[in-house]
Structure 1
Amino acid sequence: MSVLITGRPRAELPRRRGFGRLRSLAVLGPSGAIAAGICVVLVLAALAAPWLMPHDPYAVDAANVFSGPSTEHPLGTDDTGRDLLSRLLDGARLSLLGPLLVTLLSAGLGTAVGVLAAWRGGALDAVVARVLDVMFAFPGIVLAIIVAALFGSGFLAPVIALSLAFLPITARVMRAAAMRERGLPYVEALRLQGISGPMICVRHLVPNLAPLLLVQCTIGFGYAMLDLAAISFLGLGVQPPASNWGVMVANGKGAILDGHPEQSLYAAVVIVIAVVAVNLVGERLAAHYEVGETG
């Protein structure tokens, strides 16, 4: 389809792609759909945690230390008698919120930097590329540890540090994709119609890159969850008595040799399930996106 622009050559209209190929769960396949269902269950459990928890996750019960699964405590209790199921549900909120914030911050900033560099090109693109190369030299978890050591442990410092560490990954991916997109005929057609560069990027280029950004976010979410759990395990993230999953793994490690691995084991299993599920969804989306672009 084309339009006739007065006094100018005919040009193809922009083809809006967006999420058109990603609307159905069928693109994920059976395993991807199951993984997506697990992700939904985890999110719903985190949101409904205050109503699902059978006990106060911080209530200490010295008479029920290391009690086994029962009707009162479905997953048993920890070394202070706290209900493990309640702590897993309560910990889901911070354990999922942290990676989500890292993903959103790094995706937003990385997309802005990558698209700007690709669109402007020249010296700006060269400077951005060199800065991203330098940022790649700092592993995310090491940067988070340094920030936590300088500004104190907690929830916010590791999130900001990992967001900065993950930014160059997203920026590089989006920069390369934006450079390819910029060379397509519809961009020139929009320019011929007098549409400004910022408007082309916001209304057309970025939406067309949205499926690729979604893939990058799903994969990055899993890595962010692992890094934040590791930081909490080291004692530089969320602090006890918070029921963050990384904190639970750390709190339970002393009881493993005494024959009570439940606290560390349950939290570690939930982390693994969450990371595998999110990464599986990301891989299925990546495969679908690549087939759609090359087919």
Structure 2
Amino acid sequence: MSIFSVQLLTGLAYGMLYFMIAAGLTIILGVMNIVNLAHGTLFLLGSYIAFTFISQDFNFWMALLLSVVITGVLGIIIERLLIQRVYGKELEQVLLTFGLTFIIADTAKWIWGTEMQTIAVPALLDSSISIGSMVFPVYRLFVVLVGCALAFLLWYFESRTRIGAIIRAGVDDRTMVAALGINVGVVFTGVFAFGASLAGLSGVLGGPLIGMYTGMDSDILVTSLIVVVIGGLGSWKGSFIGAILIGLIETLGKVWFPSLSMLIVFLLMVAVLLIRPQGLFGREVA
């Protein structure tokens, strides 16, 4: 029983990590209707930025804060200089953001090399708790708590704040929101920066769990897209449930069916698309 409990908590930890990056991706898609294929590289960049600061004797928490801020600023630059030019042009969005993945990934290789790196667990969380005859790292519990806290903050932000109401209205009718005197462009820039910051946050928190390696951005992007598709396009609530499902299936699948874990994930996605094409929490399109 203790072994199952440890695997369950491990699956939740990875699920929360997937949720943090998928939430940013689905928010950008739901609010701005932007297919951002460069989201995975922002995850990778967040990891490497934090790794660099920690290597320069910054503590983990300061490196985390700086990484989130820098990826957010990078998101503003990308949205202002590039994304604004392709609003409403899905093919151009895909090609532009896909090209950005190569530019950012190759730049990361040039700066940090291709060897696998990892971020050390902060001293405050570098311990374990006992679960029966097994032990479980405190850091993974911390990741679970951060993911749950983010879900609560997104709920509060969406349903209890004026900005959340503006964003919801912008999703339904952008023209009407603009007619009310609200600068939709500023809102969109803020949303994109927020999504980029979430990618940076998840990249730093994922550093001690999965490290940093060549091609990680593509792996994370694929998993995030699966989470978004299962949960429903534009629904952070769907991403929360979808990420937990994927995290648990991947973790438990690697224990019981190590060669079939990813196949099970894709089968789940296919099943959801067949039964409910808009995803678990997606809205039906009339």
For the pair shown, the structure with the greater C-alpha radius of gyration is 1
Alignment TM-score > 0.5, same fold: no
TM range, smaller chain: under 0.3
Give the number of the structure whose residues are more often helix, by fraction. 2
Q: Which has the higher contact order (CA 8 A, sep 6+)?
A: 2
